[in-house]
Amino acid sequence: MGDFNSRVSNYSDFVANDENNINLTHILPDNYKSDFQLTRKSQDKIINPQGRDLLDLCVSAQLRILNGRFIGDLLGNMTFFSMKGCSVVDYAITSESLLSSVNYFIVKTPSYFSDHNQIVTHLKCDGKLPNINNINKKIDFEFKWTNTSKLLLENELNEKYIYMKN
């Protein structure tokens, strides 16, 4: 979420019609999941090289731009204003799997304090916090890499909670 200095216009951040394309069936893996196709609008009609890069990233990582897609910003309002013009360069981006958790996305009205409009998104959460009171792991601040270090590191990173105690 923030200023990406990318202009993506109305271009798609997903692969369109990939579920119906018979030419892709021999290329795609068996477990390929088709992109969820939710159209997006933008008042900015220009795409720049950084915008193309951002769209490529979104397509390859199944990320979706919230601007112009949700209640509060269905038109894809401008986020940047200057003497030279206005554009959409500030984005909130989420994984495709979290789209159902987005309640709304808003581009706030211009402010005298910035040439960028504030963007706000509201996500649904279950509100349950993990119980970390019973976690008491000692963290060593010196570490010597050995033959088993990779396995130990992977095990530690897979712990449900990572907790640091002074």
For residue 73, the model assigns a pLDDT of 97
For residue 157, being part of any structural domain is answered with no
> Which residue range(s) make up the domain with 79?
2-123
User: Does 139 reside within a domain?
Assistant: no
Q: Which residue has the higher pLDDT, 81 or 158?
A: 81
137 lies in a domain?
Answer: no
Backbone angles phi, psi at 36, to 5 degrees: -80, 120
In a domain? residue 58: yes
Whether 163 is in a domain gets the answer: no
Considering its fold, how many domains does the chain have in total? 1
pLDDT digits (tens, 9 = 90+) for 113-159: 999 999 999 999 877 766 666 666 666 567 678 888 888 877 777 76
Q: Is residue 134 part of a domain?
A: no
Query: Which pLDDT score, from 0 to 100, does residue 158 have?
Result: 72
pTM of this prediction? Answer: 0.69
